[in-house]
Amino acid sequence: EPEVTQTPSHQVTQMGQEVILRCVPISNHLYFYWYRQILGQKVEFLVSFYNNEISEKSEIFDDQFSVERPDGSNFTLKIRSTKLEDSAMYFCASIYGLQETQYFGPGTRLLVL
Amino acid sequence: QKEVEQNSGPLSVPEGAIASLNCTYSDRGSQSFFWYRQYSGKSPELIMFIYSNGDKEDGRFTAQLNKASQYVSLLIRDSQPSDSATYLCAVNGEDTDKLIFGTGTRLQVFP
């Protein structure tokens, strides 16, 4: 069964550094999402992406964040200058059509020191 | 602010019992309702989805939706220790496909 994959599984970085989190959505899916979950807290929506542009973003998704689909398979989340409070699990999800079930990747655990 | 509320638990039930998990949501325009299971340190895994009022059964799981009361529930029959996890309720609205999650209810099934 096709799955969403994410790399790396863990990333440790210094505050102020740039990180890129990578996702490979399910191959025929058209809508892509990033969520994050700070330890012990709820899963929070960051951004949705369709047809090579952002369709919706949350207040969390400020100018430090960007997303890109650089080729036909990868979907990336870049944090330009990481802060301590960016430490969280970051999940990618994808769907084929709107209102369908979102399938989540295994996540990237980001630790900012 | 659109909210999804869940009791954080833990909800402790003996093996073989029925576990009942509840969720309320604030956006009356919400269209789709999902239950995800999350083991510690892992990603959310879909258990059930429901779109229409009433009950939907899948194996040991039953989702119940009452849009008038803005209430979703998940029943787990014949609970097993492997069902011990956090259960996340998620909702999306009529004008958005983003999921809004509750904080989750931690379920503990003891032998």
Contact of B76 with B16, CB cutoff 8 Å = no
Amino acid at B107: L
Say if A58 is an interface residue toward chain B (CB within 8 Å).
Answer: yes
Residue A15: φ, ψ to 5°: -55, 135
CB proximity list for B110: less than 8 A, separation 6 or greater = B12, B13, B14, B15, B81
The region, left, alpha or beta by phi > 0 then psi within -120 to 50, assigned to residue B60 is: alpha
**CB A75 within 8 Å of CB A59:** no
Distance from the A38 Cα atom to the nearest Cα atom in chain B, whole angstroms: 11
Q: pLDDT per residue over B24-79, tens digit each?
A: 999 888 889 999 999 999 999 999 999 999 999 999 999 999 999 999 999 999 99
Tokens, residue A96: 């084929």
pLDDT tens-digit map of B66-94: 999 999 999 999 999 999 999 999 998 76
Q: What is the pLDDT of residues B5-22, one digit of tens each?
A: 999 999 999 999 999 999
The percent of residues in chain B predicted with pLDDT above 70, rounded, is 98
- Do B97 and A106 make contact, defined as CB atoms within 8 angstroms? no
Question: Which residues of chain B neighbour A89 with C-beta distances below 8 Å?
Answer: 43
pLDDT for residue B96? 80
Count of CA atoms in the C-beta half-sphere (13 A) of A47 = 20
CB contact under 8 A, B97 and A45: no
Strands (DSSP E) contained in B8-84 are 11-14, 19-25, 32-38, 45-50, 54-58, 61-66, 71-76
Neighbour-count burial for B53-66, b at 16+ CB within 10 Å, e otherwise:
eeeeeeeebbbbbe
Decide if B92 and A99 are in contact by the 8 Å CB cutoff. Answer: yes
In this structure, which amino acid lies at residue B96?
A: T
